Amino acid sequence: MQVPIFAAEGRLGAALARNLILFRSELFFPFRISLVHAFSLHWNLTDSDPTQLFKQWFDAAVSAGLPEPNAMTLGTATRQGKPSARIVLLKAFDERGFVFYTNYDSRKGRELARNPYAALVFFWQPLARQIRVTGRVTKVSADESDKYFHSRPVGSRFSASISKQSSVIASRDVLLGKLKKLEEKYPKGDPPRPINWGGFRVYPTEIEFWQGGEFRLHDRMRYRRRRDGSWSVDRLSP
């Protein structure tokens, strides 16, 4: 599933009845999480495929009008185990994994090249929901990267082409000077995808769904991938 570009603002306009979340009608915003969420998880987590459950939760976040519901924390680490984290945007997901795009020479790109494992966290606070993903990371194909790169706004394509992400620069004027030269070189707004820019796919080996509950009596369900590719599921203590 491809993830669309979202506006950076939004309001919750109505209750999501199928997700059993209680709203204060005059604010259109959740003010408490009911224990009925436990029943919701009992119903939903009979599905043996966590990808389908992720899609249900992601669609609920989109329907609720949350700002950038595809924003996720990406955790990486050096080969020595020194961690780092940042927010990136999910751009596609299916049974093969979760895709994001970046500069391969950035800090995260360098860390993933040496230690190809990552953790993702989605947090939708108004819905009291969190999803954690861990798994091995590989680059997407050049064709996939090309297709996504050329779907981006032209300004974003120029920015990706001029930025040596995570490197030290003397001033913003350096970037603006590079941008001007590139715009002159490609007046039709069609710069090619830089070879050091593209996508990564996180192939999940574990996915945990967290639903907030009253008095911190949360629900946690953990899916773990078996060797044959199927999934086991366990309920975890909050």
- SS3 category, 174: helix
Give the whole-angstrom CA distance, residue 22 versus residue 30.
Answer: 6
Active site residue 157: no
Give the whole-angstrom CA distance, residue 111 versus residue 57.
Answer: 30
Are 129 and 210 spatial neighbours (Cβ–Cβ below 8 Å)? yes
DSSP code, position 172: H
- Whole-angstrom Cα Rg for the chain: 20
Closest CA to 192 of 164, 158, 165, 141: 158
Q: Give the model confidence (pLDDT) of 64-116 as tens digits.
A: 999 999 999 999 999 999 999 999 999 999 999 999 999 999 999 999 999 99
Q: Give the model confidence (pLDDT) of 135-189 as tens digits.
A: 999 999 999 999 999 999 999 999 999 988 888 999 999 999 999 999 999 999 9
Give the whole-angstrom CA distance, residue 122 versus residue 191.
Answer: 32
- 216, 225, 226, 235: the catalytic one is 216
Are 220 and 236 spatial neighbours (Cβ–Cβ below 8 Å)? yes
Reported pTM:
0.82
Look at the block and give the residue holding tokens 């680059």: 139
Fold of 17-150+197-236: Pnp Oxidase; Chain A (2.30.110)
Could you tell me which residues come within 8 angstroms of residue 95 by beta carbon, excluding any fewer than 6 positions away?
A: 49, 51
| DSSP-assigned beta bridge partners for residue 72 | 88
Give the whole-angstrom CA distance, residue 56 versus residue 124.
Answer: 13
Each domain of the chain, given as residue ranges in start order, spans 17-150+197-236, 153-192
How many residues appear in the chain? 238
Average pLDDT in the chain: 85
